[in-house]
Amino acid sequence: MNSFWTFLDWILPSVRLSDDLDDAYALADDAHSVADPHPRIRGHDPRRDWAADRDRELERDRDRQRIQSLERENAALYQRVAALERDVQAARQSLAAFSLQPEPSTPPQIYRPSTTEPANRTSYDSLLASYTLTRRTLHDRTEEVASLKSFLSKTDEWSGAQLIQAIRDLNSEIVQLAASVAEEFASALDRRLDLSRQSDRDLVNTALGPVMMNLLVTRDHAGDPTLVQFAIQAWEVCCVGRVLDSFCFGLPSDIDQFLTNVFEHMHHAEPQPTTSRWRALTYMHSRALLTPPSRSSTPPPSSMLSLNETNLRGLLAILALSGCTDSRGVHRDPLRTRYGGAIARIGERVERIVGVIKEGVMSGVFEVTWVAGKGVASNASRKDKERDRWFDWASMENIYAGHGSEQSKVLCTVELGLACVRRVGWAGGSAEQDQSADARGKVNGHGGAGLNGNGAANGASSEGTLNRSVLLKPKVLLESITDIL
């Protein structure tokens, strides 16, 4: 019994992430934004918390009962193995004593096989076969317990507060890069000269949208390069979003989309630890297969290196569209020498965040969120592609809060946010709750609040309900900015 309680104490209690999320907004915001974020006011529903606690307790009870059942089966198997070992040993001793027992009082006789020897041999073989089978069964059950322990683990490598801080640090890197580029080339922005090409427009139009493109091309930015800075931030968010929205960045798009759909289906149908563990294993092995072999003399460039090169081309395009006449801002090599390190650091931070979210978090599904403006490609439905994004204070933050009208469309996202999706119960929720959940969920970059930005993050199914909570709102620029700048 002591070993059983020691084993149970080793597994439980699991580290939960929910306690780390209570003071998420208590952390200092080091993002460089124009206006300070307002305090978030979050509603509190005791009944929903009670229901969530009850569901979590029921899930823990089911896990505990299954582990106890397996422990009892293992104990019974151990006892059976011990009994079989004793029987085998007794049979061996009996055979040895029968075959070697001397007969000193009688003269040597011709050996005659005993009628009991075949029966003893048959019994011995039967016991040995039963012992082998039982031992194999015990080994299989032990492996099952170890596998179950791994798949039911809800221990996270990072807390919610650490993830929020990582997103803020990434936002800070993006803001610093954008501000540095805009300030360095502000004096060289001459609207009378146009060195841009059609390829520049095609490259950044998807990320910035037609409204932001028009502001870049028509405005004189020499005196105030703020719009140039925001355009660079929006471009960086779009580049980063390509990595964050993928199941495994670098896979062919159809395979990546298929794995994303499988994960979303599992998230509705399977327990949270099982779903997270499947994604972690699939992501880890997918990355291993994407790594070029070391024996290759000229391995192809990695996906992140290609993305960094595209990122650099986007900076050149934005500067050209803004009227840059400085040779360092219109040629790739000088700009790479000056800002290649900053672009690489942003890529490294993104890879680290993606790795932690997909391999190191088992208690929930975290999403890095951003709001797509006009022109941003979407993986959602055609209806969602064609509609514009209006500002929603519940899921996003206006970077110019208090200035200008907020009854406006989203121009672009300049800082990333963070959301968490968790299973809060099983079927039985009302349609009104599901509808409100969908309304809260539609925030992410590529057309919806999807898991990894590629699908619906909320809603009820026959298996359970997924609840999405915004931990850090993405900061957006509205079209009403034209009335301010």
User: In the structure encoding, which two tokens stand for residue 285, read together?
Assistant: 């092995």
Q: What is the domain partition of the chain in residue ranges?
A: 53-92+113-150, 160-290+302-483
**Do the Cβ atoms of 346 and 174 come closer than 8 Å?**
yes
pTM check: above 0.85:
no
In this prediction, residue 200 carries a pLDDT of: 82
In this prediction, residue 5 carries a pLDDT of: 65
Angle at 295 between CA 290 and CA 298, to 5 degrees: 75
The Cα–Cα gap between 369 and 462 comes to 27
**Do the Cβ atoms of 189 and 225 come closer than 8 Å?**
yes
In this prediction, residue 435 carries a pLDDT of: 37
The Cα–Cα gap between 192 and 325 comes to 10
Q: What is the DSSP string of 379-431?
A: SS-HHHHHSPPBP-TTT-EETTTTSS-SSSBEEEEEE-EEEEEEEEE-S---H
In this prediction, residue 372 carries a pLDDT of: 76
**Do the Cβ atoms of 239 and 170 come closer than 8 Å?**
no
What stretches in the chain show pLDDT beneath 50? 15-42, 106, 108, 111, 375, 377-387, 426-462
**Do the Cβ atoms of 206 and 376 come closer than 8 Å?**
yes
Q: How many CA atoms lie within 13 A of 153 on its CB side?
A: 17
The Cα–Cα gap between 170 and 474 comes to 12
What is the CB neighbour count within 10 angstroms for residue 439?
13
Closest CA to 478 of 110, 201, 215: 215
pLDDT in tens, 310-327: 999 999 999 988 888 887
Q: Locate all alpha helices (DSSP H) within 153-271, ordered by sequence.
A: 160-184, 198-218, 226-244, 253-269
In this prediction, residue 82 carries a pLDDT of: 87
Strand, helix or coil for residue 39: coil
**Following CA atoms 277, 280, 285, 288 in sequence, which dihedral angle do they give, to the nearest 10 degrees?**
-150
The Cα–Cα gap between 319 and 317 comes to 5
